[in-house]
Structure 1
């Protein structure tokens, strides 16, 4: 999968899955526009892989729209920015809800909207990959807002595929299992919680960020040129059993 001559916007590119995806796409020839809140992460991406970095807090809707316009009409978009606040349904707070839904769902929709407008103005074509989670398919304690945000993004992915397909824009989602990022380490650090979860994976392990990055590359590539509106589990078989 060679991405030479193409450009890709990646949200949440500073760390975790987003960073691995930025490095992988840059290695495969893409011009990467990396979006992150942390300037030092963007600086290291630029020095390591030549990525163009733009610092932005995507929780600010106006800032999200502005940065997408600044990034320009790129060929592809990866909505990877995500956060979590561990709260049960009984302990859910308005602050936790707004923090999670604002980044995981609203920001993704805003970025997709601005990307699609730019692509259509440029003649259409391109692809969007939305990173969701198996939490949108299975119920995990203390993940009520996170699960709602990811399930919502999968529903929106199908609508976007329907509405943007006539413009040649493909839209798909990936649902990773527990992936070894800083966010996951905080959520799954307790062996009493992680060990039973690990046992439910036929692969016998959790995902690495490169596992998800490779799947993102697949869905953006011409090899998946007739795939749209799909949700691809990247879970080592977790949802199959």
Structure 2
């Protein structure tokens, strides 16, 4: 199945490294005009060094007003990937208001903010657009030390459904993907402890963690016209973790 985004403008947040970077790269390979957003300029410059035609924007999406101003200035997009996120993992009794506020600002508020701006321009331009939100299996199942993170991603799933309902009549599809542990560079380090890894792996019927390409492929499919009747789903990419 060949997917093309030729002449489509796509905005990807959190595109400096990890899953977001690979999404930006693959969109570029399929013909998209990619605008990559990250709060870390060195990561963006590294991306642009490899792909000079990718436009880069340094932005802290936790800043509501600045984000709104910058995203509005970027013009019209055909698709959006809301990937930017933070993960502050604390035991329940050690959760702090600072961690809560930061996590919600990035993982939830910024997605509402950015999507409002992008979707409004889609409607103004009569674009049959698509939005994919990067959620997590943590929205669906309890994970140790993930209280605040899980809450933010559960909220994101709810926002995804509401967006799908309200934007669907305008021809804009909104979906989420919910990955398990993915073997990004940080994922390989964070799950290198065999005891920690084996506890999680024992709950995954396929017996392994996910690869970045497996998330990227699902995101590109949901963004594409091949998924033209898929709207409001939360797609686990978890090897069966949520099925057990």
Give the TM bin, normalised by the shorter chain. over 0.9
For 2:74 and 2:209, the matched residues in 1 are separated by 33
For 1:37 and 1:28, the matched residues in 2 are separated by 25
Match of 2:161 among 158, 161, 171: 158
For 2:190 and 2:88, the matched residues in 1 are separated by 9
- Give the Å deviation of 1:191: 2.6
1:121 aligns with 2:115: no
| Deviation digits for residues 130-185 of structure 1 (CA, Å, limit 9, x no counterpart) | 00000001101110010000010000101000000111100000000011235545
1:206 aligns with 2:222: no
1:58 aligns with 2:61: yes
1:8 alignment partner in structure 2: 10
Checking the alignment, whether the CA contact within 8 Å between 2:72 and 2:117 is kept in structure 1 is yes
For 1:33 and 1:163, the matched residues in 2 are separated by 25
SS in 1 for 2:93: coil
For 1:99 and 1:185, the matched residues in 2 are separated by 25
SS in 1 for 2:81: strand
CA RMSD, 1 decimal = 1.3
For 1:84 and 1:184, the matched residues in 2 are separated by 12
For 2:178 and 2:136, the matched residues in 1 are separated by 4
For 2:200 and 2:108, the matched residues in 1 are separated by 25
SS in 1 for 2:57: strand
Distance 1:101 1:171, change over 3 A: same
Checking the alignment, whether the CA contact within 8 Å between 1:129 and 1:173 is kept in structure 2 is yes
| Deviation digits for residues 96-138 of structure 1 (CA, Å, limit 9, x no counterpart) | 1111111111111111111111111112320000000000011
1:39 aligns with 2:41: yes
Checking the alignment, whether the CA contact within 8 Å between 1:84 and 1:183 is kept in structure 2 is no
Checking the alignment, whether the CA contact within 8 Å between 1:9 and 1:71 is kept in structure 2 is no
For 1:100 and 1:152, the matched residues in 2 are separated by 11
For 1:203 and 1:21, the matched residues in 2 are separated by 24
Checking the alignment, whether the CA contact within 8 Å between 1:11 and 1:81 is kept in structure 2 is yes
Aligned residues: 241
| Deviation digits for residues 182-208 of structure 1 (CA, Å, limit 9, x no counterpart) | 554565343322211012222221112
For 2:210 and 2:219, the matched residues in 1 are separated by 14
2:21 alignment partner in structure 1: 19
Deviates more, 1:42-51 or 1:121-130: 42-51
Checking the alignment, whether the CA contact within 8 Å between 2:78 and 2:129 is kept in structure 1 is yes
TM-score norm. by structure 1 comes to 0.96
Checking the alignment, whether the CA contact within 8 Å between 1:83 and 1:183 is kept in structure 2 is no
- Give the Å deviation of 1:209: 1.4
| Deviation digits for residues 13-52 of structure 1 (CA, Å, limit 9, x no counterpart) | 0011100100011011101000001112111222212210
Match of 2:240 among 207, 215, 237: 237
TM-score norm. by structure 2 comes to 0.95
2:193 alignment partner in structure 1: 190
2:143 alignment partner in structure 1: 140
